[in-house]
Structure 1
Amino acid sequence: MEFAEVLRRRRMVRAYDPDRPVPAEVRDRILRHALRAPSAGFSQGWAFLVLESPVDRARFWAATAPTTTTSWLDRMSTAPLIIVPLSHRDAYLDRYAEPDKGWTDRDEARWPVPYWHIDTGFAALLMLLTAVDERLGACFFGIPPTRTDRFREEFGVPAAYTPIGAVTVGYRADDAVSPSLARGHRPMTDVVHFGQW
């Protein structure tokens, strides 16, 4: 598929065919492409928790979902693959304390924004685009902060790693069109500023 077509087709998909698992070679391609994301200082401060078995996926939803079920959750939970991208701040602080970077400490205040989260988000975006290129659907969504500790405990995630969200992947099922799409894309004239705001 041409790149422009991948971008045109990219949507957050919230309903999946539960009877069609993502083939292992496609899953691996999604993960390999995520590793091609840019990272400051080539720190690569990320990790990816892959959940494919019905038991692991059920554990994920039990640990992260609100206590009341919704139609959104019912549809999302049909995804046969969940990938949780995790950022690793210490990988960046350690990397930038190395001699070639010129800093002599690990002071987090030197960073204008938390690049460890941004770069992990770049990796998640490459997963979304690869899913489209493989003719799959995918959705990035957040894990509620009140459920993060439970998620960590359930899957043994070390404290040094932060889940920046989760990505569901699978073959798209028929679903209602999100009312948010009616808003359309903001025009370039509203968001692009040349030379001055």
Structure 2
Amino acid sequence: MEYAEVVRRRRMVRNYDPDRPVPPEVVDRLLGYAVHAPSAGFSQGWGFLVLADEADRRTFWEVTTPDGKDGSRWSQGMRRAPLIVVPHSNREVYLERYAEPDKGWTDRRETRWPVPYWHVDAGFASLLMLLGAVDEGLGACFFGIPPGNIPGYRKAFDVPDEFTPIGAITIGYRAADHRSGSLGRGRRSVAEVTHRGRWGTGYEISSS
């Protein structure tokens, strides 16, 4: 599939066919796309928890959904996904990398970083999986884990303290779902969000 078509088709899918598992070779390709994401200093501090087993997926929903149950339409559709990948960031890997001689931030001060690149880079990797899923004929959805449920998630899957889940991704073959009400806001145009030279000056899109 052409890249432009992949981007055009990408959307958050919230309902899946539970009877069509994602082939292992496709899972491997999606993870392969993820590790080709850019990372500051080539630190590559990410980690991915792959939940393809039904028991593991059931545990994930039990520990990450408030009170372990949720009968909402969103939850019912998402729980049908045959694959969940949880991307994690690791701040320590970045602080250690930038204390090396070629970087020289031996004080390891987090305030040197304009933004937490460990989270940014894990987000880059996640987006490559989302786009890869489209190219593979799959649907996917990135969503957050409620902060209060992260300790239970860590305990259930033995996640080391240095790894922070930045969200989770459901992946599978799409089933009919409902259009998100948020889409009624409409997509902002390039001209609305882009500025030329100075902020607020506007940007005209070439017709060529």
Query: Please, what TM-score do these two structures have when normalized by structure 2?
Result: 0.93
Stretches of structure 1 that go unaligned for 5 or more consecutive residues are none
User: Structure 2, unaligned stretches of length 5 or more?
Assistant: 200-208
Aligned-residue RMSD, C-alpha? 0.8
1:117 counterpart = 2:106: no
Corresponding residue of 1:57: 57
1:132 to 128, 131, 134: 134
Deviations 1:144-175 (A, max 9, x none): 00101110000000110000000000000011
Letter paired with 1:164:
I
**Bigger CA radius of gyration:** 2
One-letter code of the match for 1:110? Answer: R
After superposition, what is the alpha-carbon deviation per residue over 1:28-82, rounded to whole angstroms, capped at 9, x for unaligned? Answer: 0000000000000000000000000110000000010122511111110000000
- Alpha-carbon deviation of 1:95? 0.1
- Name segments (4+ residues, structure 1) moved above 3 Å: none
Q: Which residue of 1 aligns with 2:38?
A: 38
Q: Percent identity?
A: 64
Letter in 2 for 1:137: G
Counterpart of 2:196?
194
Equivalent in the alignment of 1:18: 18
Quote the offset at 1:182 in angstroms. 2.3
- 1:185 corresponds to: 187
Shift of 1:176: 1.2
Letter in structure 2 aligned against 1:120: A
> Superposed, which structure 2 residues align to 1:165-180 within 5 Å?
165-180=167-182
Q: Which residue of structure 2 aligns with residue 9 of structure 1?
A: 9
Report deviation, 1:181.
1.7
Pairwise CA distance, 1:105: 2.0
Q: Deviations over 1:99-137 (max 9, x none)?
A: 011222211111010000000000000000000000100
Aligned residues: 197
Q: What per-residue deviation string (whole Å, max 9, x for no partner) do you get for residues 79-104 of structure 1?
A: 00000000000000000000011222
